[in-house]
Each structure stands twice: as C-alpha cells, then as structure tokens.
Structure 1
Amino acid sequence: MDTFSKFTSMLLQAEPTVELFDSFVDHWKSITSYYIETTDDSRPVRQTDIPWHLKQMLDILVYEEKQQVSSDTGACMEYLLQHKLLETLCTLGKAQGRSS
C-alpha cells in the first residue's frame, strides 16, 4: 500500500506540470492559428491577443524553470526548442514587417 501512496503522490505532483504544458501548447496554437486564419495583414500585432499569449508562455517557462529540481530541461522549454518556436516567431515577425 505504501508504494501505491507514493505513486499517487508523484502523479499529483506531476499534474500541474502536465496542465502547464498543455496551456503552453494551447497558447502557441492560438498564435499560429491567428496567422493561419487572419486575412487582415495591416493589423499591428499589438492590437491582437498575440502579446498576451506570448506573455503567458513566458510566465509558464519562468515558473517551470523555478520548479526544476535538477538540471533537466522542462517539458515546455523542450517543446520550445524542438519545435523551433523562436525561429517561427522571427519568421512571422519579418513577414509582417514586410507586408506593413
């Protein structure tokens, strides 16, 4: 029974991480879906929800970093790196700068 309670405790501690990861990915999907669905290229990014989504993503990364006990990279940071989110943001920003 002791092993079961330890396992349950681990799952409860991991749950916020899973929720943070899902939230991180949802914010990213909101940003990319804006660019896929928008037809108004003249609208400045400041007038969209993109800055808010980016701030939420940053807050999640900072929180995740503070919660790391070991030197391992957190799930959200891994996602950011593996999916090249910063490169994509740069590309989107450059494309919008040229169309303005």
Structure 2
Amino acid sequence: MPADDRIMIDGRSAFRDVAACRDLAGLEPRLFFQRVPEGKIAKNRVHLDIHVDADRKAAEVERLVALGAQLIETHSDRGPLTYVMRDPEGNEFCLH
C-alpha cells in the first residue's frame, strides 16, 4: 500500500479515504464511510438522524458548516426543531 494512502490521527496510522465508528461494547452495527470518486447521483440509501441536545444545536450547526456542511432547512413539524444538513459530498442528514 502506498504511503500516501495513510494519514496519522492522534498518533495512530489510519487509511486516508475510509473511516468507521462503532459501539464501544461491540453490540450495535458499525458505520463505515468510504470516499469514492463518483458524485452522488440519487437519493441517499442511508439517512442519519443525529441527536444533539437542544441547547447545543445552533453551535453544532455552525461547527458543521465551518467543516464544509451546508444547512438546507429547519423544521419542527414532526416534533423537536430539526436542522437538515448536507455534507460536502451531497449526502443529507439531520440534527434533531
């Protein structure tokens, strides 16, 4: 594997174009993310709803926008105030 396929994160070697998150107990499914050269061409196959405490939502939106996300809309028609976001690759997700 070429050296430029890897990066250092917190002193640990990691693959440049993939990331994963998992339940520390290993009981829940793992989420695996892989960068691909193709752009998004259709509706998301997976939609993430991310819970953020109400008093932190606005700050989290600002943080994500600073990282390249885009705020699409806000609504509260189905309960709590929800921010619909789009990541830099066009995938939508919600902060609720």
TM range (shorter): under 0.3
Bigger radius of gyration among the two? 1
Superposition TM-score, scaled by structure 2 size: 0.28
| Structure ranking higher in strand proportion | 2
Q: Which has the higher contact order (CA 8 A, sep 6+)?
A: 1
Superposition TM-score, scaled by structure 1 size: 0.27
